[in-house]
């Protein structure tokens, strides 16, 4: 099985350096262009998909749809399956915050998000302990990275590993969720290594092969961060982390 793990195109909040989390922000014009050019690149490579799964958040769903419509996958564009487990990490009270300000805030768990994800996990635990009242409101309570990894693993075991072995599958999702999927694929449980080789670029794709041996999965990462659009376009994309 060939699995293509896609991070969505850019949004207005990417350009403003705002934390998106599970806030539903659509693609901006540049994000749509990235998706269109990615589709053309995929078409040029002759890549087709038997199944397409997406986060229900519009930036991921639209990225998948635009890519499929601009490659040899117009039929698949009408059959995108959404799954709640593919949503981005929920940052709770940090959603909508400016990245640089949250990184500099000594009271915010986000200061550890990229540099020390294991410490981010501990800081979220501490925040929950100190804000028990707020924990009743899901909109305010941040999700643990371990919870993110758990739902990513469940998606892979429940959905992907049950597909026919000759399938070609596109998974359209988000920055942190894509790394959670790759944590499972790598067989990694140490959150300090959550980011692995770094965040996928917008419209970047991790390409993975899966072979099942008596219901036991064996994964191989073929390409950690493939891009199918021009390098000049890549240089224009905003970089947050």
Catalytic residues: 8, 88
Q: Cα–Cα distance between 5 and 162 in angstroms, integer?
A: 17
- Supply the DSSP symbol for 142: P
Q: Distance between CA 141 and CA 89 in Å, rounded?
A: 11
Q: Read off the tokens for 112.
A: 């550890």
2 φ/ψ sector (left φ>0, alpha ψ -120 to 50, else beta): beta
Q: How far apart are CA 241 and CA 111, in angstroms?
A: 11
Q: Which two tokens stand for residue 53?
A: 């799964």
Taking the alpha carbons at both ends of the chain, their separation in whole angstroms is: 31
Q: How many angstroms separate the CA atoms of 145 and 148, rounded? A: 5
- Rg (the chain; Cα; Å): 17
CA distances from 18 to 94, 200, 207 (A): 10, 17, 28
């Amino acid at each position: 099985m060939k699995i293509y793990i896609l991070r969505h195109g850019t949004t207005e909040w990417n350009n403003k350096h705002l934390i998106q989390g599970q806030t539903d922000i659509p693609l901006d014009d540049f994000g749509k262009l990235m998706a269109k050019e990615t589709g053309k690149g995929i078409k040029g490579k002759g890549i087709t998909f038997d199944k397409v799964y997406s986060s229900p958040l519009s930036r991921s769903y639209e990225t998948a749809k635009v890519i499929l419509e601009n490659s040899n996958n117009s039929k698949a564009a009408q059959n995108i399956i959404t799954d709640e487990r593919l949503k981005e990490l929920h940052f709770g009270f940090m959603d909508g915050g400016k990245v640089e300000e949250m990184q500099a805030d000594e009271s915010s768990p986000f200061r550890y998000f990229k540099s020390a994800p294991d410490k981010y996990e501990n800081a979220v635990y501490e925040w929950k302990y100190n804000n028990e009242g707020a924990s009743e409101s899901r909109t305010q309570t941040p999700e643990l990275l371990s919870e993110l990894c758990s739902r990513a693993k469940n998606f892979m075991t429940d959905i992907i590993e049950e597909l026919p072995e000759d399938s070609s599958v596109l998974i359209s999702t988000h920055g942190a969720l894509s790394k959670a999927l790759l944590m499972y694929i790598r067989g990694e449980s140490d959150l300090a290594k959550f980011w692995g080789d770094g965040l996928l670029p917008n419209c970047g794709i991790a390409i993975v092969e899966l072979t099942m041996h008596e219901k036991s999965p064996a994964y191989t990462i073929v390409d950690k961060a493939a891009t199918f659009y021009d390098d000049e376009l890549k240089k224009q994309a905003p970089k947050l982390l």
